[in-house]
């Protein structure tokens, strides 16, 4: 068996930590998104943050997976996977928001001009 | 005095004029006076992005058809009623159409339906045969207008259709080979067969707008250039939204905004609305024609939306570099904050 050269060892280490970092970022954004879903006041606001999981959460995680696979066929699948997630995610978010609007869910809106805390006042009327 | 009551469903086809003519003529042959109900059935609910235009088209078609009936009727005793059906429910398949026609016929005590052989009410394919089957099932009498159609056949074999077939075939074949093994003969053969079936059955659905041999590939390239920009915007917005969510005080400022975008309905508008939704902090709630109702979570996201970066990107993809340099929605007064009752 051929001994790996020092450069190869370094590259492997870099790759390993890059994978760890990417997966860590993916987990971080998924966590933030979960916190957001729990903290935000209404369905519209929650739909914003739910899309974070799919964009950066899944994005970083899949980037990590692609790096772990290395330069082979399976890496192409992860790119395709990400592509389809990027198409379906906004479609689903829009469907949720629109059906909420259609069933007459009132959005919780801040007063115009001044920033508001979680005690946002409700504006608008029931349809 | 005998009155013949007819239901004529209209759609914008090459044979619609002849159908109306036949309806009037056959109606007057059977009775001395005719009550002609011209209806347009709209395919989906009235909230699709193109709905306002569809309604205009429907009204336009109805008024044209009314003129035709008057023209053909001459001195005869003809009453004309027009209606738009399906505005308050979803119409998807032939069965829905048959049922809605039956309900209308029962309501107005109509005897017979005169069908346009090319009847194509906005759904993806012609539905005449299944529609006739459903009408048989329901027991509503119908009559297919004998029309001459020469123009239609020419259209089917045009180079437009070849382009669509070819593009759909290449896309599905390429996708199949990416998933399979492009060097293995079995995958090459089955892929060609599958791509052929897909192209023949779905080419007209995939590309609703005719392709341009020069422009369409350029658009694909421009779209590839747009993706990194979109990713960068997504990363920026993600960080901004994350920072807001993680702060204990959570300084969110949810607003509903209305933006009149300057992109064509269909694919460009879908791409824009999806890009807006994909960016955290902005969420497209509704799209009516070019008017997007966007929910924004934080002021920074709203400012970005009003600055119209994504809109310029989409215009760059579909119309080229010159068209991308347009004033932002804020500058051209197309963006405003609206209250919750706009939903």
Q: Is the pLDDT of residue B151 over 60?
A: no
What are residue B296's DSSP bridge partners?
B255, B282
| Residue A86 is assigned to a structural domain of this protein | yes
What is residue B299's predicted lDDT score, i.e. its pLDDT? 84
Place B74 in a pLDDT band, splitting at 50, 70 and 90: confident
User: B305 to chain A nearest CA, in Å?
Assistant: 14
Using CA atoms, how far apart are residues A105 and B217, in angstroms rounded to an integer?
Answer: 42
* B312-329 exposure pattern, b = at least 16 Cβ within 10 A, e = fewer: bbbbbbbbeeeebeeeeb
Using CA atoms, how far apart are residues B247 and B253, in angstroms rounded to an integer?
Answer: 14
| Residue A28 is assigned to a structural domain of this protein | yes
Q: Is the pLDDT of residue B184 over 80?
A: yes
Taking only the tens place, the pLDDT of each residue in B280-328 is 888 888 877 677 888 888 888 888 888 878 888 888 888 877 777 777 7
Residue in chain B nearest A78 by alpha carbon: B179
Q: Given CB atoms, is B182 within the 8 Å cutoff of chain A?
A: no
Q: Do B241 and A87 touch (CB under 8 A)?
A: no
Q: What's the total number of domains in chain B?
A: 3
| Residue A32 is assigned to a structural domain of this protein | yes
Pair B225, B288 in one domain: yes
Q: What is the DSSP letter of A5?
A: P
Question: What's the Cα-to-Cα distance from B172 to each of A58, A73, B168, rounded to whole Å?
Answer: 25, 18, 6
CA-closest candidate to residue B140, choices B107, B188, B185, B98: B98
Pair B129, B107 in one domain: yes
Using CA atoms, how far apart are residues B154 and B280, in angstroms rounded to an integer?
Answer: 48
Using CA atoms, how far apart are residues B70 and B21, in angstroms rounded to an integer?
Answer: 10
- Chain A contacts in chain B segment 224-263 (CB below 8 A): 231, 234-235, 238, 241-242, 245-246, 249-256
Pair B96, B186 in one domain: no
Using CA atoms, how far apart are residues A34 and A93, in angstroms rounded to an integer?
Answer: 15
Q: Do A107 and B250 touch (CB under 8 A)?
A: no
Place B194 in a pLDDT band, splitting at 50, 70 and 90: very high
What is residue B195's predicted lDDT score, i.e. its pLDDT? 93
Q: What's the total number of domains in chain A?
A: 1
Instruction: Tell me which chain A residues have a C-beta less than 8 angstroms from the C-beta of B241.
Output: 36, 48-49, 52
Residue in chain B nearest A103 by alpha carbon: B343
Residue in chain B nearest A107 by alpha carbon: B340
Pull the structure tokens for residue A126.
Answer: 């029931």
Q: Given CB atoms, is B315 within the 8 Å cutoff of chain A?
A: no
Using CA atoms, how far apart are residues A110 and B237, in angstroms rounded to an integer?
Answer: 20
Q: Do A91 and B255 touch (CB under 8 A)?
A: no
* Burial zone of A12 (CB within 10 Å; 0-12 exposed, 13-18 middle, 19+ buried): exposed
CB B193 within 8 A of CB B212: no
CB A18 within 8 A of CB A25: no
| Residue A96 is assigned to a structural domain of this protein | yes
Q: Do A80 and B178 touch (CB under 8 A)?
A: yes
User: B116 to chain A nearest CA, in Å?
Assistant: 35
- Chain A contacts in chain B segment 291-310 (CB below 8 A): 293, 295, 297, 299
Q: Is the pLDDT of residue B157 over 90?
A: no
CA-closest candidate to residue B323, choices B264, B260, B257, B258: B264
Taking only the tens place, the pLDDT of each residue in A9-67 is 888 888 889 999 999 999 998 898 888 888 888 888 888 887 777 778 888 888 888 88
Alpha-carbon A70 to chain mean position = 23
Q: Is the pLDDT of residue B118 over 60?
A: yes
- Chain B contacts in chain A segment 21-60 (CB below 8 A): 29, 32, 35-36, 39-42, 44-45, 47-49, 51-52, 55-56, 59
Using CA atoms, how far apart are residues B128 and B130, in angstroms rounded to an integer?
Answer: 6
Give the alpha-carbon dihedral of B171, B199, B156, B69, to 10 degrees: -100
Q: Do B343 and A107 touch (CB under 8 A)?
A: yes
Residue A80 domain boundaries? 9-102
Q: Which of A32, A51, A123 sits opposite B339 (nearest CB)?
A: A123
Question: What's the Cα-to-Cα distance from B20 to each of A15, B8, B51, B152, rounded to whole Å?
Answer: 71, 7, 25, 18
| Residue A110 is assigned to a structural domain of this protein | no
Pair B185, B272 in one domain: no
Q: Do B278 and A40 touch (CB under 8 A)?
A: no
**In the 3-class helix/strand/coil scheme, how is A105-117 assigned residue by residue?**
CCCECCCCCCCCC
Please report, rounded to a whole number, the percentage of residues in chain B having pLDDT higher than 70. 86
Q: Given CB atoms, is B183 within the 8 Å cutoff of chain A?
A: no
Region B153-182: mean pLDDT is: 79
- Final residue of a domain: which of B126, B151, B176? B151
* Burial zone of B308 (CB within 10 Å; 0-12 exposed, 13-18 middle, 19+ buried): buried
Give B210's contacts (C-beta < 8 A, 6+ positions apart): B160, B163, B164
Phi first, then psi: what are they for B339, rounded to 5°? -80, 175
Taking only the tens place, the pLDDT of each residue in B238-287 is 888 888 888 888 788 888 888 888 777 777 888 888 888 888 888 888 87
Residue in chain A nearest B244 by alpha carbon: A36
Using CA atoms, how far apart are residues B311 and B317, in angstroms rounded to an integer?
Answer: 10
Neighbours of A77 (CB within 10 A): 16
Q: Do A123 and B278 touch (CB under 8 A)?
A: no
Give the best-scoring range by mean pLDDT among A94-103, B18-27, B48-57, B201-210.
A94-103
Pair B68, B108 in one domain: yes
Instruction: Tell me which chain B residues have a C-beta less than 8 angstroms from the C-beta of A109.
Output: 254-256, 339-340
Q: Is the pLDDT of residue B154 over 50?
A: no
Using CA atoms, how far apart are residues B32 and B76, in angstroms rounded to an integer?
Answer: 8
ipTM, 2 decimals?
0.76
What is residue A126's predicted lDDT score, i.e. its pLDDT? 35
Using CA atoms, how far apart are residues A15 and A64, in angstroms rounded to an integer?
Answer: 10
Pair B315, B199 in one domain: no
Phi first, then psi: what are they for B315, rounded to 5°? -65, -35
Q: Which of B251, B277, B286 sits opposite A93 (nearest CB)?
A: B277
Pair B139, B200 in one domain: no
* Burial zone of A21 (CB within 10 Å; 0-12 exposed, 13-18 middle, 19+ buried): middle
Instruction: Tell me which chain A residues have a C-beta less than 8 angstroms from the C-beta of B181.
Output: 73
Q: Is the pLDDT of residue A123 over 70?
A: no
Region A91-120: mean pLDDT is: 69
| Residue A97 is assigned to a structural domain of this protein | yes
Q: Which of B252, B274, B284 sits opposite A45 (nearest CB)?
A: B252
Pair B27, B140 in one domain: yes
Q: Do A108 and B254 touch (CB under 8 A)?
A: yes
- Final residue of a domain: which of B134, B151, B168? B151
Using CA atoms, how far apart are residues A67 and A73, in angstroms rounded to an integer?
Answer: 12
User: B61 to chain A nearest CA, in Å?
Assistant: 29
Pair B199, B241 in one domain: no
Element (H, E) at B296: strand B291-296
What is residue A115's predicted lDDT score, i.e. its pLDDT? 42
Pull the structure tokens for residue B205.
Answer: 């659905």
Q: What is the DSSP letter of B149?
A: -
CA-closest candidate to residue B282, choices B268, B272, B269, B270: B272
Element (H, E) at B282: strand B282-288
In the numeric block, the tokens 């009132």 are attached to: A106
Residue B88 domain boundaries? 3-151
């Amino acid at each position: 068996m051929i001994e790996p050269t020092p450069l190869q060892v370094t590259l492997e280490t870099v790759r390993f930590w890059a994978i760890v970092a990417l997966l860590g970022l993916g987990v971080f954004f998924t966590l933030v998104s979960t916190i957001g879903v729990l903290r935000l006041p209404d369905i519209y606001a929650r739909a914003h943050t739910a899309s974070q999981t799919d964009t950066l959460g899944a994005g970083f995680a899949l980037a990590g997976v692609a790096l772990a696979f290395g330069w082979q066929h399976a890496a192409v699948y992860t790119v395709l996977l990400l592509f389809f997630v990027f198409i379906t995610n906004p479609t689903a978010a829009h469907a949720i928001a629109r059906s909420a609007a259609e069933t007459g869910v009132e959005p919780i809106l801040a007063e115009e001009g001044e920033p508001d805390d979680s005690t946002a006042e409700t504006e608008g009327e029931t349809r | 005095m005998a009155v013949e009551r007819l239901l004529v469903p209209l759609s914008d086809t090459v044979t619609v004029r002849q159908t109306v003519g036949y309806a009037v003529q056959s109606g007057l042959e059977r009775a001395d006076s005719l009550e002609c109900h011209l209806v347009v059935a709209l395919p989906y609910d009235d909230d699709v992005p193109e709905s306002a235009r569809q309604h205009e088209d429907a009204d336009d078609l109805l008024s044209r058809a009314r003129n035709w009936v008057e023209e053909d009727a001459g001195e005869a005793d003809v009453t004309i009623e027009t209606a738009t059906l399906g505005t308050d429910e979803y119409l998807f398949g032939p069965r829905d159409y048959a049922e809605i026609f039956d309900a209308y016929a029962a309501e107005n005590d109509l005897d017979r339906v005169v069908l346009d052989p090319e009847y194509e009410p906005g759904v993806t394919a012609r539905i005449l045969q299944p529609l006739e089957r459903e009408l048989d099932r329901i027991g509503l009498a119908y009559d297919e207008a004998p029309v001459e159609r020469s123009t239609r056949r020419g259209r089917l074999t045009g180079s437009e259709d070849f382009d669509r077939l070819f593009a759909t075939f290449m896309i599905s074949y390429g996708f199949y080979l990416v998933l399979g093994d492009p060097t293995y003969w079995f995958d090459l053969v089955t892929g060609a067969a599958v791509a052929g079936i897909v192209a023949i059955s779905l080419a007209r659905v995939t590309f609703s707008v005719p392709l341009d041999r020069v422009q369409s590939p350029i658009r694909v390239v421009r779209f590839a250039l747009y993706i990194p920009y979109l990713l960068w915007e997504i990363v920026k917005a993600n960080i901004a939204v994350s920072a807001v969510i993680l702060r204990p005080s959570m300084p969110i400022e949810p607003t509903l905004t209305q933006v009149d975008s300057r992109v064509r309905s269909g694919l460009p508008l879908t791409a824009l609305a999806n890009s807006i939704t994909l960016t955290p902090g902005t969420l497209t709630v509704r799209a009516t024609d070019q008017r997007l109702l966007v929910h924004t979570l934080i002021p920074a996201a709203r400012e970005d939306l009003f600055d119209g970066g994504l809109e310029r990107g989409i215009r760059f993809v579909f119309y080229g570099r010159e068209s991308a340099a347009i004033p932002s929605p804020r500058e051209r007064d197309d963006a405003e904050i609206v209250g919750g009752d706009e939903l």
